Amino acid sequence: AQSVTQPDIHITVSEGASLELRCNYSYGATHYLFWYVQSPGQGLQLLLKYFSGDTLVQGVKGFEAEFKRSQSSFNLRKPSVHWSDAAEYFCAVGAVRGDDYKLSFGAGTTVTVRA
């Protein structure tokens, strides 16, 4: 079965500093990789996605992620964090098997931004 691991439960970063959130997955089939962000009490918003092509993908709000097949990783980065980036971030991996498609989510990483 597929699994997605976000090793860091909580990260605190200073405003203006860089941010990296880790995501590792175990998978065998063709897969699709996503990062979502969630503010408290809200739904999830898609930040970026990867399914083919350039392994460095750009997303919204200045985020980027790099797919490394050899390491089974899809880490999210932002060069300079803003206070509004405080939220919970979820990595997700999708698998297609025939007509069936499902996403598996990591447990999430909460990001706190200090002034």
Partner 1 sequence: DGGITQSPKYLFRKEGQNVTLSCEQNLNHDAMYWYRQDPGQGLRLIYYSQIVNDFQKGDIAEGYSVSREKKESFPLTVTSAQKNPTAFYLCASSSRGPPYEQYFGPGTRLTVT
Which residue's CB is nearer to partner 1, number 65 or number 92? Answer: 92
Q: Measured between alpha carbons, how far is residue 2 from residues 42, 104, 105 in Å?
A: 26, 7, 10
Binding to partner 1 by residue 27, rule CB under 8 A? no
Q: Which of 19, 21, 34, 85 binds partner 1 (CB under 8 A)?
A: 34
Binding string, 37-66, against partner 1, x = CB under 8 A?
----xxxxxx--xxx---------------
The site that binds partner 1 (CB under 8 A) totals a number of residues, namely 27
Phi/psi of residue 7, nearest 5 degrees = -65, -25
Q: Which of 17, 56, 60, 96 binds partner 1 (CB under 8 A)?
A: 96
Q: Measured between alpha carbons, how far is residue 49 from residues 2, 12, 55, 107, 113 in Å?
A: 18, 24, 10, 18, 24
